[in-house]
Structure formats: C-alpha cells, structure tokens
Structure 1
Amino acid sequence: MKASDETPVYLAADCGGTSCRVRLFDEDGQLLCEGWGGPANASLGLEAVLSEIFRATRDALAKLDGPTIPLSRLHAGFAMAGLVETERRKEFLRTPHPFASMTAETDAFVAQLGAFAGGDGGLLITGTGSCGFAVKGKEKFYIGGWGFPVSDQGSGARLGHLAVRRALQAYDNILPSSPFCKKLLAEVGIHPAEVSRWARTAKPADYGALAAIVIEHAHAEDEVAKNLVLTVAKEVNQLIRALVKRGVGEIHHIGGFAEPIRPWLDKAYGRYEAQARGDVFDGALRLINNRTGLINKTGKVRI
C-alpha cells in the first residue's frame, strides 16, 4: 500500500475492561495488522480509552509492511464496553479525534451486529463485566451491563470480588477455609489490612484477573471455590433466562469468561446457543459502513 494511496482503511477496535484490541482492514475487508492496548472500558473516561486505542493502533501500524498509514486516513469503529451512560455517550460525541471518521457503540451492540450479520438475535457477553443485548425486528434492548459493582452479574470481576470477600471470611474464621482461600489471599495480601489497601485501588480488571484462580480450584474439587463458581454460573443462567423471557430464540455467548464458565451452566439453555456468522470486528466494520451508532462529527486534531 503506497503512502500516497487515499483508499479507505478501516480501524475496528474491541474496547473491553481488560484490554483493547484493534485491527486494520483494507477496503476489501482484508486484515492488514493487529495491535493491543490496556483496559478501555468507557467507565474509565473517554480520554483514557482513546489513549489505549491510540496505543493499540500504533502497535498495529508498527507491524504493517511498507509505509505507515496516518491516523487521518483511518475510518474508526469502536465496540466499547461501558458506553451506556448518557454523559459518556455525549462525551464521545464531543471528543476531538485525529481519524477520518469515528463511530462507536457498546461492545454488546457491535458484537451482536457481527454475530448475526445485522439480523435478529441475542448476544451475551461475560468477560471482566457482563451484558445482554438483543435485536428483535425494530426492537433493541439491553439486559444488565450497568457496570461494576452495581451490575456485571455473572462476570469475571464479580467472581473475583466474591472470592476476595470469601477468603477474608475464612481468615476471620467466619466461614471454613480451604487451599483456595490461602492461594487467593497470597495474591492480594496475606493480612486483611493488606487486602483492604489493595481493594481501595482495585479496578474491575484486577478482580477479573482472580477468576482464573477460582476456576482452577473449582475443577480441583475445592468446595469453597466450587460454590463460588456455581453462584456466578447461576447469575449467567439468569441472564440467559432473561433474554429467553423477552422472546430471544438464538443467543451467542462470548467474552473472556464465557468458556471458563460454560461447563458450569445449565445444560437446558444449550438449545438457545447460536453460532456466530461474524465477530466483533465484523460488527465494527458494519458500524462504520452502515453509519450506525454514535457518529462523532467533532473537528479533527493531530496527535
């Protein structure tokens, strides 16, 4: 691709609570390169999110063969976790940016768009956070996804948060201990005062990172860990049931916590499981090309 080439280049970004991943595509939809950044949930603020998107984009551009592509040539579409609050959405629309165009929607909205190729269906995300989203004809609706700690049931952060509380209860001899409790405390602080200090600055991603410890010990038949996983699995079942009650017949389940929690879910809901026709990046491309979602028309800036 020549530096003087003015053909469109598309930047699709998956902005989650744990990391930000971007992919660049040419006008034919062929993948050019991929890059990574840090946590990019909208609840962290748009300045922080865009900083991670820029970092991930530069990481991707550094892997590109030939001359680099200026940000001003990129048509950007973001699947952004946490982009549900009215003020955050307004902030997105008024934020200056260096791209040729910039549009965004919630991660659930964009992932559903990709999974069902713009058609009807339900999308359940369980990652650091959680959210359900469905399209039924002209109706679109969300279930959950209001952020940690008031929502995000059935998520990795929710499991990690429950795990820290349970480990402290074991330390205080309120409830029985187990190898899992000792391992968990070794990660965040042996003494309750250390755990309390850790928790004062802990973000959802920090709690979500503890989920793997719980899952590992649950598979090893640690009863404390197993009960925690079953508690969170029940919450995921509730999210699925809520979508089904709204008349959603097909549900695609994605997210970094989807596979770890899947063996613990109610098998009866398997009949609603749908195979995806595309992924979140396909959804982001549709978002850009269909001019769907939030379209930022603010003047450009150079960075």
Structure 2
Amino acid sequence: MNKPLPLHHTLARAEALAAVRYHVGVDGGGTGTRVKLADAAGRVLGQGEAGPSALGQGVAQAWRHILDALQQAAGQAGLSPVPLAECALGAGLSGANLLADAQDFIRTQPGFAAVLLENDGFTTVLGAHGGRPGVVVAAGTGTVGEVLRPDGSRGIASGWGWITGDEGSGAWLGLRAMGHAQQAMDGRVPVSQLAVAVWEVAGRDRESILAWCAAAGQHGFASLAPRVLDVAEAGDKPAQALRMQAVVALEQLAHSLDPQEELPLALAGSIAKRLLAHFSGNIRARCVESQGDSADGALLLVGSALNDKTGTR
C-alpha cells in the first residue's frame, strides 16, 4: 500500500519521536488485554497479559491493564521498568469508535512518545493479513468484522455492542442461553442440557439467577458461551439451534464485508474459531491462517505511522 494506514485517533509529540526505541502493540477487549513489546525494527522482545481494556468498561481501567501487561512484557524482555517516553504505543481497543471515550483515552495517556488508537477489528485485520488486503471476522466476547480493500479503503460491520448487537459473539450466545434457562425454569420450555448448564453457573432458583444477571455484564454472559457449545456438541437441540444462529450471523457478516468473495478471510476470536467446522463449505474454502493477531496489527500500525511521520515511508 502506498499511503499511510488511516487512523481514527492519534497523538504524537513530534519532538519526542527521536527518542523512540520501542514499539508497543496492544490488543484490548472486554475479557483481557495482550501486549507485545518490540524494538524499533519490529522484533518482538516480550509479551504480557492483563484484565480487560475495552473502552466501554472505563478508560482508567483500560490504561491500568495496558500498563500492567506492558510491564509484564518488559520484564520478559529484561527491560523492566520500560521508560514510557521511549515507547510508541499502538492500541487496537474494543470501543475505540466511540469518539468521547477515544478522546479521553488519548487525553489521559501516561507519557508515551506517541499513542495511536484504533478499534480492535482494524488491528486484527492488519495482523491477520500482514497489512495487506483481506477480511477478518472476529467473534470472542464481542463480534466485529473488518475489511481492508486493495485500494486502501476499509469497512466495518457489527461491533455495535453486546446489548444491541455483536451477533454470534460469546456474550450474544450467553444472553440467549440465559433466556432459554429462564424459560425452562418457568416451565415455558422443556428442561434441556443447556438450561442445566446455565443453572450450574447462575443458580437453581429465581433469586440467584436474577442476582447473577444483574451483576454479570458482558464478560459474565460471554462466560456461558463455552457451555453452550459444549452441550451443543453433546447433542442438545436448543444449544445446537443457538450455535446455528451464531454461524448464520457470522457468515452474513463475512458476506457483507466482501460481497464478491474475492478477498482472503481470516477468523479471530475463540467463538469464531470454534464454529469454523460448522460454516458452509464456501466460507471454509476462503479461510486462511492468520499471519498475526491484533497486537501484531497494532505494531504494524505504529511502524507505518512513525515511518510516515519521519519521512522514511
């Protein structure tokens, strides 16, 4: 590609860029944060993990977990503590499309020489295809799809959030599993393996289930998804129906991003990968192995932006 990759939000202190010795790639979602620390040539030196850094769960929490994961990575690289002023950070975060949260994240950055913020779907598509054109359907705690087209343009679908959208995600599956379990408790539908699996987590009486739902949040509902898929594999019909609904939703997402089905397709996230065997033959035929993950894509974002700013592109 001959032009800089587009960024939603950037912050770079030009006078500080000469001090950059390390690149930091962040993949942040509703369940956890993964950080890769690399040298200026892009060679990964260490990795770290911490709690969620989706911006919808709070900007302060996002920065806290990013810094925790970065220090783990720095320790692995023998650089602890890594000086932030010598780091350029690229972050692919869930919720980065919400302008107010993105601006707050940039405004409160703790001293990096540069911060580049994108949604995690775009850094995932960059990492999966090595910065080249392609499609990614990512379904884990949430769901989002991204396409990077040959002309450098891009598109996004889904990623509307777990309350109103994110079809096919872990939270989406969990919400529907809970609805089924509640109906089974009422006697509105027969008791199934799926209902029992939910009760084992949330409780076997009305009061316990109401309390669990009130406290669960996105991560809590997503934690039910592996149980949905486990009992589906064991032959439970309601769970199999939910699994098929998720497959259909993710296939629709892939088609919306590349209607001509011309670009390579990579799957990301625990739910998408677990559903692969149930996708149609055409979808499976288009799937390619990801070259890297969202944190790798964030590192590509940093390298591209810094090269452009320093005139080396």
Alignment of 1:118 onto 2:131: yes
Give the letter aligned to residue 55 of structure 1: D
1:24: Cα distance to partner?
0.9
> Contact 1:104–1:287 (CA<8 Å) still a contact in 2?
no
**Which of the numbers 194, 205, 208 marks the counterpart of 1:180?**
194
1:174: Cα distance to partner?
0.6
Give the letter aligned to residue 164 of structure 1: M
Distance 1:30 1:256 in 2: 26
Unaligned runs of 5+ in 1: 1-5, 296-303
In the alignment of these two chains, the number of paired residues is: 288
Find the counterpart in structure 2 of residue 213 from structure 1: 227
1:220: Cα distance to partner?
0.7
Q: Residue 257 of structure 1 aligns to a residue in which SS?
A: helix
Instruction: Judge which range, 58-67 or 87-96, deviates more.
Output: 58-67
Task: Rate the CA distance shift 1:164–1:24 in 2: closer, same or farther, 3 A.
Answer: same
Alignment of 1:141 onto 2:155: yes
> Contact 2:255–2:261 (CA<8 Å) still a contact in 1?
no
Alignment of 1:285 onto 2:299: yes
**Which of the numbers 182, 206, 209 marks the counterpart of 1:168?**
182
Distance 2:262 2:175 in 1: 30
Find the counterpart in structure 1 of residue 59 from structure 2: 46
> Contact 2:90–2:302 (CA<8 Å) still a contact in 1?
yes
Distance 1:123 1:20 in 2: 19
Q: Residue 118 of structure 1 aligns to a residue in which SS?
A: coil
Q: Residue 108 of structure 1 aligns to a residue in which SS?
A: helix
Instruction: Judge which range, 32-41 or 241-250, deviates more.
Output: 241-250
Cα-to-partner distance string for 1:265-289 (whole Å, 9 max, x where unaligned) = 2222223223333332331112112
Find the counterpart in structure 2 of residue 82 from structure 1: 95
Find the counterpart in structure 2 of residue 60 from structure 1: 73
TM-score normalised by the chain length of structure 1? 0.88
Task: Rate the CA distance shift 1:247–1:112 in 2: closer, same or farther, 3 A.
Answer: same
Same amino acid, percent of matched pairs: 27
Alignment of 1:128 onto 2:141: yes
Cα-to-partner distance string for 1:155-185 (whole Å, 9 max, x where unaligned) = 1111111111101111111111113311211
Task: Rate the CA distance shift 1:138–1:11 in 2: closer, same or farther, 3 A.
Answer: closer
TM-score normalised by the chain length of structure 2? 0.86
Find the counterpart in structure 2 of residue 233 from structure 1: 247
Unaligned runs of 5+ in 2: 1-18
Task: Rate the CA distance shift 1:7–1:236 in 2: closer, same or farther, 3 A.
Answer: closer
The residue correspondences of 1:86-105 to structure 2 (distance < 5 A) are 86-105=99-118
Distance 1:25 1:62 in 2: 13
Find the counterpart in structure 1 of residue 49 from structure 2: 36
The residue correspondences of 1:267-278 to structure 2 (distance < 5 A) are 267-278=281-292
Give 4+ residue runs of structure 1 displaced > 4 Å after superposition: none
1:291: Cα distance to partner?
1.7
Cα-to-partner distance string for 1:65-94 (whole Å, 9 max, x where unaligned) = 366422222211111112111222222332
